[in-house]
Amino acid sequence: MPNRRFGKGIVRMTLRSSSAIFVLWASAAGSEVRDERTYNLYGVPGLIDTPTAEMAPDAELAATISNFGDIRRTSLTFQILPRLSGTFRYSAISNFTNPASVNGVYYDRSFDLRYQVLDEGRIRPAVAVGLQDFIGTGLYGGEYIVATKTLAPGLKVTGGLGWGRLGGLNPIATTGTRPAELLGQGGLPTYDRWFKGDVAPFGGISYAPNDKWKFKVEYSSDLYAEESTSGQFSNKSPWNFGVDYRFKGGSQLSLYHAYGSEIGAQLTFALNPRTTGIGGGVESAPLPVAPRSAGSARDLGWTADETRIASAKSSLKELAAKDGLEIEAVTLEGTRATVRMRNPRYGAPSQAIGRLARAMTRSLPASVETFTIVPVVNGMAMSAVTVNRSDLERLEHSAATDMYARTQISDAFGLAPGPDAGIYPKFTWALAPYVQFSVFDPDNPVRADVGLRATAKYEIAPNLILSGSVAKKLGGDLDSITRTDVSNLPRVRTDRALYSAQGDPAIEYLQIAHYGRPAKNLYSRVTLGYLESMYAGASTELLWKPTSSRLALGAELNYVVRRDFDQLFGVQDMETVDPVSGVRRTIPNVNGHVSAYYSFGNGFHGQLDVGRYLAGDYGATISLDREFANGWRVGAYATVTNASFEDFGEGSFDKGLRFTFPLATFGGTPSRVANTVNIQSLTRDGGARLDVNGRLYDQVRDYHDPDVANSWGRFWR
């Protein structure tokens, strides 16, 4: 699947209150829009600056930008499960005196988690427990237990107990001492602090007279002590007031009067991979299935007629081409046909297969009863999907699941006919502008480069591909990154600024890749050349994945040499000199991993990679993604290696978030293009992997049973 990245977040990390449950009258828990959550200044469902026990609809992704006084917060909240939500936040506090402040602005990143222990019932309030800013420096660190109850349609009351940040004002109790030192080098969960220290109550009332407006009043237990002493914040009152205007779909605009001293404003954009877009899209209708007349299937006379065979094949190719599918070969026998297909258009493989099956009923002679469709990617046969023509005729207007029950998906090793003459070799090229972002550097929180990128691909054979990409910067400030940080590992990634500054124009990659099917259930890749912006060499990979298996196993072995900083044709030696400490370290030539991939069903997917990383450290990466049938993905990963927290440096270990959003949701018509945004915690040298393209799993899994079945509803589309 072509995978164009719009931006890779290169992030730098800065250093740097229950049972006030109100027992209520019974009231029907409203399911109206006005009873739904709104977001607060922290970017989580809440009142104004405190949380509530409300949850957003499952899978909602909300981005909030809020500002009050000197404090600006940008948050991204994802409803991971109906009862669990996670938040990533980047805050900037101006006029804040701190060694880590840059030009007086203190930058801070935080992660939150909230779990709804009880959902709201007729008498029972919703109860949730949350961890605020639980990884890292903990400026906003706090924990809470909170309960929210709907008293009448539109009227909600919230009360809770907070610790840490939320336990500052008028505490009513203490649960132990709350430690203040940083664990490791920062970047670790602050488990030694959770639910320790002073406990203070907070709460508030919200009233929504209709679907659009909501009024809120809140008592906040947050002292804003640090902001008052090191910054210019003045906390005059714990009472906050606010009004929300809610748009359809969950987005909102809010205005607040906070802490008796500041006016605040907030904008939240919400979308939901499960509900955003038009169900099914607006693409044009497929061809109807052409049923055969009774008895016509007995006629096998056409098998001797070369013209008849040729015209059936060309008619099939034409019909499929109108639907955006490329037919590379057709094998016609008396009662079966095998088609080798390339799918550049449909994100859902079932839709490609369904449209091709329809075209086959309209073009192939009546005696052909068994259709075998072999989707091919990079010359590898992905799977063999077999359907019976009689079933297509019988089930055209039935539920898609009826057709799935009659479809066989099996391994295609040796089943794909070779491509027709004249298709290969094939040359394709593209020229397009790009924008590349670098975020979270406190010197300049958002940097961007814009430029032109030229890519070309020469497919010598379907599975032997020579490809390259050259980027020329047109403008931007990525090269103004001046920070140099010390590293206790070979500088495998921390020289990024040098590559960025000197690589203009840059050969992003220039490689020859061979893909293969060595045996049943096995897929292979060998890539040679300039593999990525910093490394050249050889990358080999082997993947084992049976078509109906949820589990796949892979192994990758790489031999790398370090490229010159100008990202042209030169390579340099493997010894790096640290600009701060002067220590010389050698990057090893060999690295690699064994990987296990598992599709849990219910939308979750996990991956475990164990091996040796670029800097020579050994360890493992664990990733967990929530995946949707329409191609949306939200996930997180963490890597722990034998590089100690001290050697890794700030952040202690590599972690990040990633989001994939398919173009098809926004365009409404099918597309295989999906953009992936990685927000990597920071570019340190531990846990770094070679960024080679063409890795096998994402290509292969698409046409295998668990993924094909997921979006099978599009078969008849």
Q: Which is nearer to another protein, 10 or 629 (CB)?
A: 629
Q: Which is nearer to another protein, 476 or 503 (CB)?
A: 476
The rounded distance, in Å, linking the Cα atoms of 619 and 192 is: 25
Query: Cβ 671 to another protein, closest distance in Å?
Result: 5
Q: Which is nearer to another protein, 282 or 304 (CB)?
A: 282
> Tokens 């020859």 sit at which residue?
512
* The two structure tokens encoding residue 344: 């550049």
- Report residue 708: phi and psi, to 5°: -65, -40
Q: Rule CB under 8 A: which residues touch another protein?
A: 273-286, 288-291, 324, 344-345, 348, 393-394, 396-401, 427-435, 444, 448, 450-452, 455, 457, 474-477, 628-630, 663, 665-673, 710-711, 713-714, 716-717
Contact 517, 413 (CB under 8 A): yes
Query: Cβ 167 to another protein, closest distance in Å?
Result: 40
* The two structure tokens encoding residue 291: 């049923």
Query: Cβ 347 to another protein, closest distance in Å?
Result: 9
Q: Which is nearer to another protein, 484 or 669 (CB)?
A: 669
Q: Which is nearer to another protein, 452 or 460 (CB)?
A: 452
Q: Which is nearer to another protein, 155 or 663 (CB)?
A: 663
Query: Cβ 147 to another protein, closest distance in Å?
Result: 30
Contact 11, 187 (CB under 8 A): no
Q: Which is nearer to another protein, 288 or 334 (CB)?
A: 288
Contact 459, 424 (CB under 8 A): yes
Q: Which is nearer to another protein, 144 or 346 (CB)?
A: 346
**Helical spans, DSSP H, in 282-388:** 306-322, 349-363
Q: What angle do CA 490, 493, 496 make, to 5 degrees?
A: 130
Query: Cβ 85 to another protein, closest distance in Å?
Result: 19
Query: Cβ 666 to another protein, closest distance in Å?
Result: 8
The rounded distance, in Å, linking the Cα atoms of 371 and 388 is: 6
The rounded distance, in Å, linking the Cα atoms of 129 and 135 is: 16
Q: Which is nearer to another protein, 73 or 672 (CB)?
A: 672
The rounded distance, in Å, linking the Cα atoms of 327 and 318 is: 9
Query: Cβ 348 to another protein, closest distance in Å?
Result: 6
Q: Which residues of 259-275 are buried (b: 16+ CB within 10 A; e: fewer)?
A: beebebebebebbbbbe
Query: Cβ 630 to another protein, closest distance in Å?
Result: 4
Residue 580: partners with Cβ closer than 8 Å, 6 or more residues away: 484, 485, 486
The rounded distance, in Å, linking the Cα atoms of 635 and 110 is: 17
Query: Cβ 91 to another protein, closest distance in Å?
Result: 21
Q: Which is nearer to another protein, 455 or 623 (CB)?
A: 455
**Helical spans, DSSP H, in 153-214:** none
Exposed/middle/buried for residue 236 (C-beta within 10 Å: 0-12, 13-18, 19+): exposed
SS3 content of the chain, % helix, strand, coil (to 5): 15, 45, 40
Contact 700, 546 (CB under 8 A): no
Query: Cβ 161 to another protein, closest distance in Å?
Result: 37
